Amino acid sequence: MHRYRSHTCGELRANNVGETTRLSGWVHRVRDHGGLLFIDLRDHYGLTQCVVDPDSPAFKLAETVRSEWCIRIDGDIKKRSDDTVNKGLGTGEIEIFIRDMEVLGDSQELPLPVFGELEYPEDIRLKYRFLDLRRDTLHANLMTRTKIINSMRRRMNEAEFNEFQTPILTASSPEGARDFLVPSRIHPGKFYALPQAPQQFKQLLMMSGFDKYFQIAPCFRDEDPRADRLPGEFYQLDVEMSFVTQEDVLTTMEPVIRGVFDEFAEGKPVTKEFPRIPYAEAIRKYGSDKPDLRNPIEMQEVTEHFAGSGFKVFARMIESDPKVQVWAIPAPKGGSRAFCDRMNSWAQSEGQPGLGYIFFRKEEDAIAGAGPIAKNIGAERTEAVRNQLGLDEGDAVFFAAGDPKKFADFAGKARTRAAEELNLIDEDQFALCWIVDFPMYEWDEENKKVDFCHNPFSMPEGGMDGLNNVEPLELNAYQYDVVCNGYEIGSGAIRNHQVEVMKKAFEIAGYDESLLEEKFGGMFRAFQYGAPPHGGMAAGVDRIVMLLVGAKNLREVTLFPMNQQAQDLMMGAPGDVFPAQLRDLHIRLNLPEA
Mark the binding-site residues for L-aspartate, compressed into ranges: 175, 221, 454, 495
Mark the binding-site residues for ATP, compressed into ranges: 221-223, 488, 540-543
Give the containing element (helix H, strand E) for 519: helix 513-519
Decide: 205 and 240 in contact? Cβ < 8 Å.
Answer: yes
How far is 271 from 289, CA to CA, in rounded Å?
A: 18
Which parts of 332-462 fold into alpha helices (H)?
337-349, 372-389, 404-421
Q: DSSP letters along 214-239, please?
A: EEEEEEEE----BTTB-SEEEEEEEE
The type of residue at 400 is A
Q: Exposure of 249 by Cβ count < 10 A (0-12 exposed, 13-18 middle, 19+ buried)?
A: buried
- Determine the Cα angle at 548 with ends 269 and 418, to 5°: 70
How far is 190 from 212, CA to CA, in rounded Å?
A: 34
The type of residue at 350 is E
How far is 457 from 174, CA to CA, in rounded Å?
A: 13
Cα 542 off chain centre by: 6
- Residues 6 or more apart in contact with residue 338 via CB below 8 angstroms: none
How far is 431 from 428, CA to CA, in rounded Å?
A: 10
Closest CA to 155 of 308, 30, 263: 263
How far is 581 from 594, CA to CA, in rounded Å?
A: 24
- Residues 6 or more apart in contact with residue 178 via CB below 8 angstroms: 221, 222, 223
Alpha-carbon torsion, ordered 52, 54, 60, 65, to 10 deg: 30
Q: What is residue 593's DSSP assignment? A: P
Closest CA to 231 of 582, 592, 564: 564
Beta bridge partners of 476: 439
Mark the binding-site residues, compressed into ranges: 175, 221-223, 454, 488, 495, 540-543
How far is 176 from 170, CA to CA, in rounded Å?
A: 15
How far is 497 from 477, CA to CA, in rounded Å?
A: 13
The type of residue at 364 is E
How far is 102 from 4, CA to CA, in rounded Å?
A: 10
The arrangement of strands across the sheet holding 479-484 comes to: 162-163, 212-221, 232-242, 534-540, 487-494, 479-484, 432-436, 276-278
